[in-house]
Structure 1
Amino acid sequence: MDITDFYDTFFEEADELLAEMETHLLDLDVDQPDQERLNAIFRAAHSIKGGAGTFGFEALQRTTHLLENLLDYARRGELQLRRDIVDTFLEAKDMLNDQLDAYRQGGEPDPEALERICETLRRLALEEIGHHAEADAPAPTPASKPAAEPEPAAAVGGGRYQVALLGVADKDRALLIEELGQLGEVESHEGDVEQYRVVMKTSLSVDDIEAVMCFIVEPEQLSIQALDTPAEPVAEAAAPQAGKAEQTEQAAQAEKAETADKPADAKPAAPAKAAGKSASKAPAGGESTSIRVPVAKVDQIINLVGELIITQSMLNQVAEDSDTGKDTGLVTGLNLLQRTARDLQEAVMSVRMVPMDYVFSRFPRLVRDLASKLGKEVELVTEGKSTELDKGLTERIIDPLTHLVRNSLDHGIETPDRREAAGKPRTGRLLLSAQHQGGNILIEVIDDGAGLNREKLLAKARSSGLSVSDSMSDDEVWQLIFAPGFSTAEEVSDVSGRGVGMDVVKRNIQSMGGHVEILSKPGQGTTTRIVLPLTLAILDGMSIRVGGETFILPVSAVIESLQPSADDLYTLAGGDTLLKVREDYLPVVAVHHALDVAEAITDPTRAIAVIVQGEGRRYAVLVDNLIGQQQVVVKNLETNYRKVPGVSAATILGDGSVALILDVSDLHRLAQSKKDNRIFGNVSHLVEEIEPS
């Protein structure tokens, strides 16, 4: 068996264990550490060490061995935790991440970095415990165990176990038995492919054995049962009660008597727990409840489903344009195909959806480290962690969110003394929230800091040469922070002050089909709101007609449509036109003007105004006709052709023609630029260029 076949599984599970370790370390109360958290951290390190040893990752095994022993001292109460010790554990966790990355790329970890972290862990062990960190962890004794309710032996570890390997081929079994031999002493092994039984003696727990072995076999192929409890620790505890500590046989009798005297509500014995755990690990019939699939395969299925939807739209179009559209059987079949295709699309898209916890889990460490660096006290709160978003978007939203969080900590939340002087709690509050809003996801970064200073922003904008006025609304002033090169930091640091970041945040969010808004109240805090589509693969669009061209507006951006009257249209001195809708005056964007569409309706009173929202503003988009709503498959125009101003993507209609998906905000900017005679060419020629490719 080629052991490298299991590398990817080990790397993925090790990443998950390290993420779990970091979460538990950040949540630890150093004054009253939770025993279960300490056990979970220890098990994570121990599992990684076992896998590293199996695959020959020496540096990873060496680091985790040192860390594991220190964690074992901590969970036994022999190492008194402090914040700086937890910081050291987190530093070691970061180093384990770096080592994993090196092995994943087929290289070796940095030897100097390895020696530094090993020396740090050795020094910590010597200073705090007086032992070398390489030494084996101390054996559990009644005196060293924390004063907590004793756990069953199967959970604590120690004893004889029967490990059943289910459905493991003969050629693979040798490696597994060898691995079990590294975890303890193998007493016997026998059986066949269907079930091979290994009896072993070890000081580890059932959880520890499973965690290491599951790097090699699937959980449903493994069943572990405790054959008896550890003899020595029980004898030591039972003998004093019987007054016969020196007699092994009498100690065993005392143990038996003690077991008989236990109350009815006592904890179940170790074998019962082990059996229960094995049962939960292996579902009925030995079937696994989940599988790991590469993202590339899911993307391929999504693309195929997209092509299926396009084909289904084409069939509908052909049926409508021909006499076959009167065939009730054909119509019924096409309607069924349409429903099935949509259900299939929703089912496949759900596979790519991941909870926002995937994103939010990265920020407790960032907030902790940065707040400490800035001398601030900050409490991070997350809401809506179960809200789901397309995996492709979660990967791309991490960097913008990271910058917004750093910005809130650096510019927003004040130092404890300033907060106290302002009548606020010394500890600032940073909230990350996510929720679904129609066909979009709303992500908010909210701090209770000083808020944005309008006068300071205007003064900085003027000094930077930006065109501003005192009559600007607050929303327009807040948007100034997204201008390239704009920064209000008084001095440059490694956290901020270089005038880069917020403009990149805005561009990245726009590239994902979303927009960002700023809300702020002086002295009360700032809210940054990001609105994103749930997925970029397929969207619900509103088909519109301008001249001889068909365009798509995202339904999520459409608010309403109306027929403008001459009394509601106002022309400004610079040539801009505004449309009054109730009490608001909205910029008018004529699609035929921005994209040079021929034979379009040029009289606004004969056109239809579609009220849309983009980048926190509303616009009135003038079109000739509304065709209807339909689901469209999004094709990346920049990847397949080139970047086109005013257009975010393209799609293929039921008749096989290409339709451009409009970017409303960029379309408005394009229309404004046309006044400077920067013409981008006729859209009909653009579509003709795209269609052959």
Structure 2
Amino acid sequence: MSIDLQRFHATYFEESRDGLDAMEAGLLAMDAGERGAETLNSVFRAAHSIKGGAATFGFDAVAALTHALETLLDRIRAGTRAVGAADIDAMLASVDVLRALLAEAEHGRPADPAQVRAMDARLQALLGEASDGPRATAPDTNAAAGWRIEFQPEPTLFMRGNDPIALLRALEALGPLQVQARLDALPPFEALDPLQAAIGWSLRLDAPVPRAAVEDVFAWVEDECRLAIEPLPPPSPAAGDASAVAADEAPAASAARGAPAHEGESSIRVDVAKVDALVNLVGELVITRSMLQQLGTGLGVEVAERMEAALAQLERNTRELQEAVMGIRMLPVDAVFRRFPRLVRDASARLGKRVRLQTRGESTELDKGMIERIADPLVHLVRNAIDHGLEPPEARVAAGKDPTGTVTLAAAHRDGHIVIEVADDGRGLDRARILAKARERGLAVPESPTDAQVFDLVFQPGFSTADTITDLSGRGVGMDVVRNNIRQLGGSVQLDSRSGAGTRVEIRLPLTLAIVDGMAVAVGGETLLLPLAHVRESLRPGPGDIRTVKGEGRLLRLRDEFLPLLSLGEAYGYARSRGDETVAVVVEGEGQRLAVEVDALIGQQQVVVKSLERHYRHVDGISGATILGDGRVALIVDVGGLVRGRRLPQAA
């Protein structure tokens, strides 16, 4: 039976990446003092599975490195070696090298051969050291004259394309193998279930090989079978081999048959492209529903009422379907947060600082596309916090602080957005120094600027107040890239700081990039969409509510404050809104409010966002487009862009 193993490479790579994440988390827990058996076993199991799959698929470099890593872990598990800081450092470094080797096997990006050799030499040096832990005095169960193996596949073993015959051949390569098929679990013909595995094998391997060599054969399928491995008893001159084998086989086979089967899998892995295709189809369904609603406006009363009821039901079903499909793409933000304990550990060690990482809201869900694109900005912000936000331990003690600084990562749902915060309890931003650097570079600085205006200067390209450039970060260096990346996701970023108390960066992101609720407005004969998450209220200005102030432009009086008033018609080159008949819509973006002038409100509707950049080009002030029920294209307003394009006065 020939099987194309390349069909299963993608599953192996994905599961191996999950395994490396688990290894890293376990090693960091061990570094923090958690030395329990469960933590150590979880790291060992991950390494063992990665090695078994690598050997099966012929990824020799991965198999060789994980073999050395597994040997080190096995000695620690056996108690023959006490785990030390050097061991954890080396194993964490090996995780990085394994990631590079997996990327080489998956995408053909060559790993640095010098780094791989150095890592292997580092592990071998640790393995060559004299054991510094107590030697086990119990008999060595890893060595035997041979092995008895009871092997019963689970249905999932076959569903994943694994071939039991290939496993038997791998065992035969270790030494003489006796094979006996076991059909004692075979039910009557009428009760046969084609999805169940009824065949098993009783195996005898007459070879003095280590137990680990036998386990390696089944490493890739150990979670998809019932397996019992027992050493053969030493030969006895008083009893025949056959009777001894028979006497010992019975309990082993019974144990194997009595072992509980693994529960059925509760999840499946689906290619992201398939999910995206489903999201697009749901989007087209939303557009089709709008078209039907538009066509129903010209029908008679009786038909229109029936049509309206049917469309209302369709709308409910479509929204439920849309929410279910979008839920498939939602992942907990922990998928990003879990990479930071390692980053914080490495960065603090290099800088000689003591840092505590706190995370909150790890279960908050975010669209997978955003998860992937938010990671780099967060990495930059956390490095900034450690490198230039937190003081060295001696400086913190002198300031009356805990010598261990705290970096906080938090996520939460708020006002229809996902809000992610990166905060530190360090020295805070130096307002005077920022202003001095801004004037030195010739940047425009308002008279008597507020703290928000001063802190906003660090987002200027290349702006930095650091005296020295480190290989980690510089407070402000690259912050313009951070803001641009966030804005490309339809989000915003704000910075707040208090001298001596720390800095906080708040990132606000939309829940999804695909389908949004919007307020349709009429402007100069065209229809524009205002994202509902940015809309605060709408009103028809009364006499005297609109004033023109020299140097500030038009302002709208709203209760006890004045808001800048912007005509959307003028902003996008349409006709000017019609005086007293206009409607003002108050929107909020970038943490500031603005009133926009439109001709009329059309109504709230759910729209499918289409990227202009992908199909046309970037347009300032426009975050995307959508197709209306009558087939026309409507542009979606970038509220944050409108706010940024206008210097907002302070509230009166």
TM-score over 0.5 (shorter chain) = yes
Change (3 A) 1:663 1:160: same
1:261-309 Cα deviation digits (max 9, x unpaired): xxxxxxxx99999778743x233xxxx4222111001101110110011
Once superposed, what is the RMSD of the aligned Cα atoms? 3.4
Are the counterparts in 1 of residues 491 and 508 from structure 2 also a CA contact under 8 Å? yes
Distance (Å, rounded) in 2 between the aligned partners of 1:271 and 1:454: 75
The alpha-carbon deviation at position 412 of structure 1 amounts to: 1.1
Structure 2: which amino acid aligns with 1:175? A
Q: Does 1:660 align with 2:635?
A: yes
2:200 is aligned, of 197, 201, 205, to: 197
Are the counterparts in 1 of residues 458 and 476 from structure 2 also a CA contact under 8 Å? no
Counterpart in 2 of 1:445?
422
Are the counterparts in 2 of residues 78 and 144 from structure 1 also a CA contact under 8 Å? no
| Secondary structure in 1 matching 2:394 | helix
Distance (Å, rounded) in 1 between the aligned partners of 2:542 and 2:497: 36
Are the counterparts in 1 of residues 465 and 475 from structure 2 also a CA contact under 8 Å? no
1:532 is aligned, of 509, 513, 518, to: 509
Are the counterparts in 2 of residues 594 and 671 from structure 1 also a CA contact under 8 Å? no
Are the counterparts in 1 of residues 80 and 136 from structure 2 also a CA contact under 8 Å? no
Counterpart in 2 of 1:363?
340
The alpha-carbon deviation at position 402 of structure 1 amounts to: 0.8
Counterpart in 1 of 2:179?
188
Distance (Å, rounded) in 2 between the aligned partners of 1:365 and 1:204: 30
Counterpart in 2 of 1:689?
none
Are the counterparts in 2 of residues 310 and 652 from structure 1 also a CA contact under 8 Å? yes
1:380-427 Cα deviation digits (max 9, x unpaired): 111111111110010010011111111111121111111111111111
Structure 2: which amino acid aligns with 1:623? V
| Secondary structure in 1 matching 2:200 | strand
2:4 is aligned, of 2, 5, 21, to: 2
The alpha-carbon deviation at position 555 of structure 1 amounts to: 0.7
Counterpart in 1 of 2:190?
none
Q: Does 1:174 align with 2:175?
A: no
| Secondary structure in 2 matching 1:28 | helix
Matches within 5 A, 1:498-509: 500-509=477-486
The alpha-carbon deviation at position 448 of structure 1 amounts to: 1.1
Distance (Å, rounded) in 2 between the aligned partners of 1:462 and 1:571: 31
Are the counterparts in 2 of residues 30 and 81 from structure 1 also a CA contact under 8 Å? no
For normalisation by structure 2, the TM-score amounts to 0.86
The alpha-carbon deviation at position 564 of structure 1 amounts to: 2.9
Counterpart in 2 of 1:519?
496
Matches within 5 A, 1:589-600: 589-598=566-575, 600=577
Are the counterparts in 2 of residues 165 and 197 from structure 1 also a CA contact under 8 Å? no
Q: Does 1:142 align with 2:138?
A: yes
Counterpart in 2 of 1:62?
64
The alpha-carbon deviation at position 439 of structure 1 amounts to: 2.3
Distance (Å, rounded) in 2 between the aligned partners of 1:32 and 1:444: 28
2:328 is aligned, of 351, 355, 358, to: 351
The alpha-carbon deviation at position 83 of structure 1 amounts to: 2.2
| Secondary structure in 2 matching 1:195 | coil
Structure 1: which amino acid aligns with 2:562? Y
2:152 is aligned, of 163, 179, 185, to: 163
Distance (Å, rounded) in 2 between the aligned partners of 1:293 and 1:391: 13
Are the counterparts in 1 of residues 360 and 409 from structure 2 also a CA contact under 8 Å? yes
Distance (Å, rounded) in 1 between the aligned partners of 2:448 and 2:39: 56
> Which range moves more in the overlay, 177-186 or 46-55?
177-186
Change (3 A) 1:663 1:165: closer
Structure 2: which amino acid aligns with 1:34? G
Change (3 A) 1:575 1:447: closer
> Which range moves more in the overlay, 191-200 or 447-456?
191-200
Structure 2: which amino acid aligns with 1:410? D
Structure 1: which amino acid aligns with 2:538? S
Matches within 5 A, 1:64-83: 64-83=66-85
Distance (Å, rounded) in 1 between the aligned partners of 2:307 and 2:225: 54
Structure 2: tracts of 5 or more residues without a match: 184-193, 205-209, 240-250
> Which range moves more in the overlay, 304-313 or 160-169?
160-169
1:218-240 Cα deviation digits (max 9, x unpaired): x6xx330548x6687xx9xxxxx
Counterpart in 1 of 2:549?
572
Identity of aligned residues (%): 45
Q: Does 1:282 align with 2:263?
A: yes
Structure 1: which amino acid aligns with 2:641? D
1:493-524 Cα deviation digits (max 9, x unpaired): 21234964111111111111111122222211
The alpha-carbon deviation at position 10 of structure 1 amounts to: 1.0
1:374 is aligned, of 330, 334, 351, to: 351
Counterpart in 2 of 1:623?
598
Counterpart in 2 of 1:149?
none
Counterpart in 1 of 2:625?
650
Distance (Å, rounded) in 2 between the aligned partners of 1:272 and 1:29: 41
Distance (Å, rounded) in 1 between the aligned partners of 2:475 and 2:403: 28
1:133-166 Cα deviation digits (max 9, x unpaired): xxxxx99753899xxxxxxx9xxxx974332354
Structure 2: which amino acid aligns with 1:619? L
The alpha-carbon deviation at position 650 of structure 1 amounts to: 0.5
1:623-646 Cα deviation digits (max 9, x unpaired): 121111111000001111111121
The alpha-carbon deviation at position 470 of structure 1 amounts to: 5.1
Distance (Å, rounded) in 2 between the aligned partners of 1:630 and 1:598: 24
Distance (Å, rounded) in 2 between the aligned partners of 1:597 and 1:343: 37
Are the counterparts in 1 of residues 150 and 253 from structure 2 also a CA contact under 8 Å? no
Distance (Å, rounded) in 1 between the aligned partners of 2:448 and 2:174: 74
Are the counterparts in 2 of residues 324 and 330 from structure 1 also a CA contact under 8 Å? no
Are the counterparts in 2 of residues 187 and 200 from structure 1 also a CA contact under 8 Å? yes
| Secondary structure in 2 matching 1:311 | helix
Counterpart in 1 of 2:19?
17
Distance (Å, rounded) in 1 between the aligned partners of 2:452 and 2:215: 55
For normalisation by structure 1, the TM-score amounts to 0.81
> Which range moves more in the overlay, 28-37 or 514-523?
28-37
1:343-390 Cα deviation digits (max 9, x unpaired): 111111111111111110111111111111111111111111111111
The alpha-carbon deviation at position 191 of structure 1 amounts to: 5.5
Q: Does 1:461 align with 2:438?
A: yes
Structure 1: which amino acid aligns with 2:72? L
2:89 is aligned, of 87, 105, 123, to: 87
The alpha-carbon deviation at position 97 of structure 1 amounts to: 0.8
Distance (Å, rounded) in 2 between the aligned partners of 1:565 and 1:455: 44
Aligned length: 611
Structure 2: which amino acid aligns with 1:41? V
The alpha-carbon deviation at position 571 of structure 1 amounts to: 2.9
Distance (Å, rounded) in 1 between the aligned partners of 2:136 and 2:198: 33
| Secondary structure in 1 matching 2:129 | helix
| Secondary structure in 1 matching 2:517 | strand
Counterpart in 2 of 1:212?
220
Q: Does 1:550 align with 2:527?
A: yes
| Secondary structure in 1 matching 2:20 | helix
Are the counterparts in 2 of residues 413 and 428 from structure 1 also a CA contact under 8 Å? yes
Matches within 5 A, 1:677-688: none
Change (3 A) 1:566 1:96: same
| Secondary structure in 2 matching 1:600 | coil
The alpha-carbon deviation at position 86 of structure 1 amounts to: 0.9
1:579-637 Cα deviation digits (max 9, x unpaired): 34344432222111111212532x3x542221111112111111121111111000001
